[in-house]
Amino acid sequence: MKLGVNIDHIAVLREARRINDPDPVDALSIAKRAGADQITIHLREDRRHINDDDAKKIIELSHLPVNMECSTDDEIIDIICSLKPHRATLVPEKREEVTTEGGLDVIKYFDKISDVVKKLKDNEIDVSLFIDPDFEIIAACVDTEADMIELHTGKYANIYAMLYSNLKYTHNSIKDLELSRAELRDKLSMAIGDIENSAIYANKAGLLVAAGHGLNYQNVESIVDISSIVELNIGQSIIARSIWVGLENAIKEMVQLIKR
């Protein structure tokens, strides 16, 4: 299984002071040395962390393939087409959200997404669609002619956190906060089952399958066990751990867990 390291959070820290330190570009050689397979960045419409200049430099200087997450906004897609990363991952984007909440509604926005997939592929950029684990959405992804999907693991990660870290602050619904441990355990196996069955279904339909969002050193194991998933994109937990052990060690520890 491959590891894409999402380095947006390095730019989040820089933007907290609006200066030029730390520079996400400095993570490129460290990620390669630590055994990562890909650099992932998100050029958000509001440029709250990675900006156009970062994206340009990262694509120019990275020895690892660069996966750029982005919305389907016309201006953003034009920038992606001119930057030519290895891959674009289309994600839903809302300005007020803390992070990407939920997957793309490929059924509702089928025409727009198909047009964007075609434009990116005409520019020789591979395309992945970030979606919730759902058979109907996956079937629509196949029709867009995207190369790949990334399954949103946020729901799984939230239930895991409630069960094992006793985390009350989650992005889950209020109803979930009332659940007993047994009910949470059932929900967790259902969430893993949905991810696994979706990955198998997508593979059979000819799509490569990645997964990501909310994955960390504890909850990643059950996702690593799903053989139809070929890649994980992980950011928050790796950058958080790098504060204590350094970025190279934080990436190495994750590489060890997912390449066992």
Judge whether 152 counts as a catalytic residue.
no
Residues 145-174 that bind ligand PXP (CB under 6 A): 150
In the list 54, 69, 132, 231, the residue contacting ligand PXP (rule: CB under 6 A) is: 69
Judge whether 49 counts as a catalytic residue.
no
Is residue 233 near ligand PXP by the rule CB under 6 A?
yes
Is residue 99 near ligand PXP by the rule CB under 6 A?
yes
Residue 236: CB minimum distance to ligand PXP, A: 4
Tokens 């089952």 locate to 193
Residue 40: CB minimum distance to ligand PXP, A: 7
In the list 5, 137, 140, 215, the residue contacting ligand PXP (rule: CB under 6 A) is: 215
Residue 173: CB minimum distance to ligand PXP, A: 19
Is residue 85 near ligand PXP by the rule CB under 6 A?
no
Judge whether 86 counts as a catalytic residue.
no
Q: How many Å apart are CA 64 and CA 37, to the nearest integer? A: 6
Window contacting ligand PXP (CB under 6 A); options: 16-24, 117-125, 189-197, 235-243: 235-243
Query: Whose CA is closest to 90, among 129, 64, 34?
Result: 129
In the list 236, 248, 252, 253, the residue contacting ligand PXP (rule: CB under 6 A) is: 236
Number of residues that bind ligand PXP (CB under 6 A): 19
Torsion of CA 36, 153, 172, 90, to 10 degrees: 90
Q: How far is CA 13 from the centre of its chain?
A: 19
Residue number with CB closer to ligand PXP (62 or 237): 237
Would you say 224 and 244 are in contact if contact means Cβ atoms under 8 Å apart? no
Question: Could you list the residues that contact ligand PXP (CB under 6 A)?
Answer: 6, 8, 42, 69, 89, 91, 99-100, 130, 150, 212-215, 233-237
